[in-house]
Amino acid sequence: MPTQPLADIRVLDASRVLAGPFCGQMLGDLGAEVIKVERPGAGDETRGWGPPFLNDLSAYYLSCNRNKNGITLDLSQPEGLRVFYDLAKRSDILLENFRAASADKLGVSPAKLLAVNPRLIVCSISGFGRTGPWSDLPGYDFAIQGLSGMMSITGPVDGPPSKVGVAMADVVTGLYAASAVLACLHARRQSGHGYAIDLALLDCAVASQVNVAQAYLTSGTVPARQGNAHLQIVPYQVFKTADDWLILAVGNDAQWQRFCQAVERPDLAADIRFTTNTQRVRERGILVPMIVELLITRTALDWQQRLLAADVPHAPVLNYQQLFALDQANARGLKIVVRDIDGKPVDLIGPPVHIDGLDRAESTMPPRLGQHTDNVLRELLGYDTQAIDALRAHKVI
């Protein structure tokens, strides 16, 4: 099998919860060796975020920790810190989400880690970054969604502000983190030195709002919640059919004309009020109710067949059972099967990256707490059984 893109890279993942672990998982999917460091006895708190659970592993923890070796290490003890430094010396990337004051106190600040390994790429993830008056406040996805403006544009038009259904601020921060560390890996080939990356959930959440946040900066007008509609495109929202919900995503004027043909409404196609998207946005209060009355007359499947034949973007609204039953989901590996420590099959979300000429490496089960501690200390750091037993006796591991 050809070499995986990151097969020669080692990642020390000292992060917790979602943003950092999600980044580490992505790097593991691309072939990196990822060592997840957790507190002895407790571990990543997402291990207990359930139900549902698979034995003692929560679905939350399973979602962002595949393809990792798991060790336990108490960084508050000098012996634990020495082990951590030894691991950092042998790693290319270190992911962490300590609060700045805690990192300084523990001796794992980016400056200290770069002193230990000048070629290390340290990615520090926090709620608000290392600068500014909020720099040492904790950051939680729900709060970040509220602070970032994301909730102000999400939810029913006349209802309360709503969060996105998943921890979107964490997820996009994990994506930005992976992009940043890979860029620094590339730069290190020329510069020869490491880098300290400062990523904030708030910053990433704001950046992820792209056109809607930019609309405010451009116009000075605070955008109102659109529910399932689009601020700048019409018709681009979910509609009720005779039996189910259907997404209509008419993104340009040619698609609008084809939509009108598909639904047998040439009068709408010829109406000068709706000829361009700009006009349709201005007249959404007139046009959308007309489409509502139209689409309720037939079933979702009937409309899907008509819109598919006319090449008009649309989609049903699926639940997870329907999604994972799709042939498309199977073809793309949206669900994978791994084996747990007892050899039993476990379904996990599949990695989304496909690279021509490379088969995806076989994924491994997220580790149990401390599952690989002895192996990592023995094989990577050269510790013998006596040294490992001494660390365990002192509750360092």
Residues in the chain: 397
User: Nearest-CA neighbor of 75 among 109, 106, 114, 110?
Assistant: 106
Give the β-pairing of 121-126 and 195-200. Answer: parallel
Residues near 143 by beta carbon (within 8 Å), at least 6 away in sequence: 127
CB atoms closer than 10 angstroms to residue 91: 25
Judge whether 170 counts as a catalytic residue: yes
Q: Which residues of 215-247 are buried (b: 16+ CB within 10 A; e: fewer)?
A: beeeeeeebebbeeebeebbbbbebebeeeebe
Ranges of beta strands (E only) in 218-313 are 236-240, 245-249
Long-range contacts of 330-339 (CB under 8 A, 24+ apart): 333/360, 336/363, 338/66, 338/362, 338/363, 338/364, 338/365, 339/365
Q: Which residues contact 166 (CB under 8 A, 6 or more apart)?
A: none
- Give the count of beta carbons closer than 10 Å to the beta carbon of residue 8: 11
Active-site choice (170, 302, 342, 359): 170
Q: Which two tokens stand for residue 284?
A: 């959404």
Q: Which two tokens stand for residue 307?
A: 């819109």
Cα separation values, 42 from 78, 122, 222, 379, Å? 19, 24, 44, 25
Residue 237 near residue 248, CB atoms below 8 Å: yes
Burial class (CB in 10 A: 0-12, 13-18, 19+), 32: buried
Closest of 322, 366, 359 to residue 341, by C-alpha: 366
| Tokens matching residue 205 | 């959440």
User: Positive or negative, the Cα torsion across 113, 119, 125, 128?
Assistant: positive
Residues annotated as catalytic (active site), given as ranges: 170
